[in-house]
Structure 1
């Protein structure tokens, strides 16, 4: 049985209103050397890889559809913001990151790096 995923939490904003949202309710930011796409759907904030796994389109140039999926601007592949599943049927997976809105700010969880067999 796999161990539960461990995250290092990083504060990325004081509130959801502090992001530089584009009209499409998407933006990109740097967190610990990673470029992350941030998406807003209603009052929820999501985080995912900034490039589409199919052809590398910048997800922040796409849009969030009426069902809450992020849509790549290049070929219109659709991905669930909640789990990264490709909902348009092409079989790709978009990396997602957990986001928590806490009293003191907005946080993103990045996986703890684990080094096996190096010591």
Structure 2
């Protein structure tokens, strides 16, 4: 299996520019798409804006003690690193890599190709 190729989108000039709510979550825009950004133990993590179950806005939820994002609607929990639904309902959350570089904070989105056989 091939490693995914990413296109990187700058969301902030620095980490200090990201003003997290009390729940350590914010909404950012990358490639004209809303993304939820979370901060857990000084690490930045990114995932979809909406919960895959019922569309809850994940930035209105919270991050639990293990670093999972918790949806505000039905309290489904997702690992923000790999997207696995840890409460067992079988849903999968889209996650994105985050890089903090000298010139800013970037979100990686997989490069989409029309045909990718290799």
Give the TM-score of the pair, scaled to structure 1.
Answer: 0.92
Question: Does the residue aligned with 1:11 lie in a helix, a strand or coil?
Answer: strand
Whole-angstrom CA distance in 2 between matches of 1:71 and 1:45: 16
**1 CA distance for matches of 2:67 and 2:14?**
21
- The residue aligned with 1:3 is 2
- Aligned match of 1:116: 115
1:19 equivalent to 2:18? Answer: yes
Quote the offset at 1:59 in angstroms: 0.2
**1:16-48 deviation digits (Å, cap 9, x = unpaired):** 221131111101121112110010112100110
Report the Cα distance in structure 2 between the residues aligned to 1:63 and 1:39, rounded to whole angstroms. Answer: 9
SS at match of 2:45: strand
Structure 2 residues not aligned, in runs of 5+: none
Q: Matches of residues 1-119 of structure 1 in structure 2 within 5 Å?
A: 2-116=1-115
Q: Distance in 1 between matches of 2:16 and 2:104?
A: 11
Instruction: State the shift of 1:14 in Å.
Output: 2.1
DSSP 3-state at the match of 2:59: helix
Which piece of structure 1 moves more, 24-33 or 71-80?
24-33
In angstroms, what is the RMSD of aligned CA positions?
A: 1.3
Q: Distance in 2 between matches of 1:107 and 1:10?
A: 5
Partner of 2:28, secondary structure, is strand
Aligned length: 116
